[in-house]
Amino acid sequence: MPRIALFSGSMNINIVIAYIFALFLLYLIARLLLSANRTGGKLLGRAGLTVMAIILLNAVGTLVGYRVPLNLMTILLPTFLGVPGFALVVLLQYLIF
């Protein structure tokens, strides 16, 4: 299998092709969401804010031993429900774990 030298290492050509394909798919999805209508752009922005809020919560929560996992459900709930959804994620994480 041919290998490509990247940054003094080598990488399988299949991995490089997979990365390029994944980046292309992300570009198409972002373009579709942003150009379809304003709702897609708003949802993408809210999802970004949700990710930043969870990262900030985890940074502060690490001091007291509290963490919220960063996964699809913990991002989608606050994205669609807003602040009450974020509070729900925090509350459920506290009650379950």
What mean pLDDT, rounded, does the chain reach?
Answer: 83
Q: Where are the domains of the chain?
A: 1-36, 38-97
pLDDT of residue 3: 57
Helix (H, G, I), strand (E, B) or coil at 1: coil
Q: Which residue has the higher pLDDT, 1 or 24?
A: 24
Can you give the pTM of this predicted structure?
0.61
- SS in 3 state form for 27-38? HHHHHHHHHHCH
User: Mean pLDDT throughout 16-20?
Assistant: 84
- CB neighbours of residue 7 within 10 Å: 6
pLDDT of residue 41: 73
